[in-house]
Amino acid sequence: MKTNRKSNLKVVDTRSVGQERELEIKRRQREEESWKLDKPEIEARVHRIRDELQTAKEQMDAAVFDVMTNGIPRSLDSSIARREPDEMARYLLPSIVGHYDRCKKVLADWEADDIGCVQFDTAEVAFQIGILARAIFTGSSKEEVDTLERSLAFATAARG
């Protein structure tokens, strides 16, 4: 005669809190690696930012001849979409978006450092772009702008 027996055995997760934390750290490291751009992509993005800044400078230069108006000077009233500085920063350094999105999903105590990373990275990259913008907007020589472009690409790539 057969009897139906039910087992009271349960699957027990034997991972400790420390092991869970270690797995999470590794997952985050892989995620952060996916945010990194290679040097050629960084150089290309810096060059595109330079082109955008160059276009903005050309519009500002032309505004001198358009100032006699009650409205926006025609040279500045453009349909050309320009990125805000923080948008340029997020474009150049995708980790800013990655950290922000990570924080949006869930914010635990040990993830609070991400907020600091977002603030620091945004400020630093915006400042660096500002240096390049200043050189372009003040009419620095092509050689000086080229040097700053290469320097910005190098500094960004060096962040690792």
Token pair 């020589």 in the structure block, residue: 141
134 assigned to some structural domain? yes
Domain assignment of residue 2, yes or no: no
CB atoms within 10 A of CB 126: 19
Are 47 and 106 in contact by the 8 Å Cβ rule? The answer is: no
In a domain, 42, yes or no: yes
Give the residue carrying structure tokens 């001198």.
64
The tally of domains found in the chain comes to: 1
Which residue segment(s) compose the domain that 47 sits in? 38-158
Q: Which of 8-12, 94-98, 141-145, 156-160 has the highest mean pLDDT?
A: 141-145
Quick check: is 75 in a domain? yes
Give the residue carrying structure tokens 């001849």: 65
Other Cβ atoms within 10 Å of 96 Cβ, number: 23
Question: pLDDT grade, residue 110 (50/70/90)?
Answer: low
Spatial distance between the Cα atoms of 50 and 78, rounded to a whole number of angstroms: 18
Q: Give tens-digit pLDDT for 52-108.
A: 999 888 988 988 888 888 888 888 877 777 788 888 898 999 998 898 888 877 776
